[in-house]
Amino acid sequence: MGQIEDLRIFVVMVDEGSITRAATTLNIAKSAVSRRLALLEDRYEAKLIERKPGSWKVTETGEELYHRAIRAVGEVDEIDADFLSASAKLSGPLSVSVPRDFGLGYLNDALTSFKIKYPEIILAVDFDDRVVDLDRENYDFAIRITGVQENKLSANHIGAMEHALYSSPKYLDAHSTPQSLDDLRNHQLLHFGTARRGTWNFTSEKSHGKDKITPLEFSPYLNSNSGLFLLDATVKGLGISRLPDFIVKQAVDGNELVQILPEFKMPSWHVYLLHSNNRQMNKRMRVFFEEIRTACISMTQPEC
């Protein structure tokens, strides 16, 4: 047996919590499992599992080896899946964390189309705005939207989005149209977030090669952590909102919303597809990456 097979047996031992059960699972002799464990402990000169009558405990060294062995064995299995079955249908699990509004408002069709195209892939999509830990949690990918450039090696830039100010004709008929940023302070401003004070940043002429940022601070008339809720509130005439382009397109096309102060631009936000640095992308992950990247082509920025 090779080293990878020794590690595979060790993983099964830890998972089963017993040499006897591991032997049954692997369909090999119990003595063979015991021998492979002894050889591993000799190789690494460390006790990996404390074994006494009625007692079974994985040591600290054993725990570290177990987690690294899972990754090593998994990589080999993925290589086999990619190259030994090149003509086979893509299959296996794929889990993704997606920001709620962006996923439901923009990527919904792309995600369902991916599942239809690759029915053997077991796709799990978690619509959640929290920042997930790709190393500790069971996600292959996480999509992140941020106003800050990500420099992580695992961060693939797949698109960008623009924000602008919008209101309904109904609201403007009742409150007049603002002509300047200062005029906004006299209006009902709907804010994404839960803070008592809101800040909207606007870009103007470049200074020393960079956009000059002009902040507008205000007390929100309405707060929410849902862009879809703010869209609905804005359409119903509750006030003026800063909303991303992907979420307002249908309402703008239907004349339910109009853009306010279009001459004042807002900084672009970036869309990243992240995966753990501790693993290489397998074939189904690479296919998913290309499908989602393609879905971003219709965004406003050429980098998509």
CA–CA gap between residue 174 and residue 68 (Å, rounded):
64
> What share of residues in the chain are helix, strand, coil (percent, to 5)?
40, 25, 35
* CATH 3.40.50.300 for domain 3-83: no
- Please state which CATH number belongs to domain 92-161+269-295: 3.40.190.10
CB 171 within 8 A of CB 239: yes
Hey, where are the domains in the chain? 3-83, 92-161+269-295, 163-260
* 163-260, CATH topology level: D-Maltodextrin-Binding Protein; domain 2 (3.40.190)
pLDDT, tens only, 68-103? 888 787 777 666 666 655 545 778 889 999 998 888
Alpha-carbon distances, residue 216 vs 38, 67, 219 (angstroms): 67, 49, 10
pLDDT of residue 238: 96
pLDDT, tens only, 19-54? 888 889 888 898 888 998 998 989 889 899 998 887
Report whether pLDDT(214) > 80. yes
Task: Outline where DSSP puts E strands in the chain.
Answer: 49-52, 55-58, 92-98, 121-127, 141-146, 155-161, 163-167, 189-192, 198-207, 210-218, 222-224, 240-244, 258-260, 269-274
Q: Residue 51's beta-bridge partner residues?
A: 56
Average pLDDT over residues 191-220: 81
pTM: 0.63
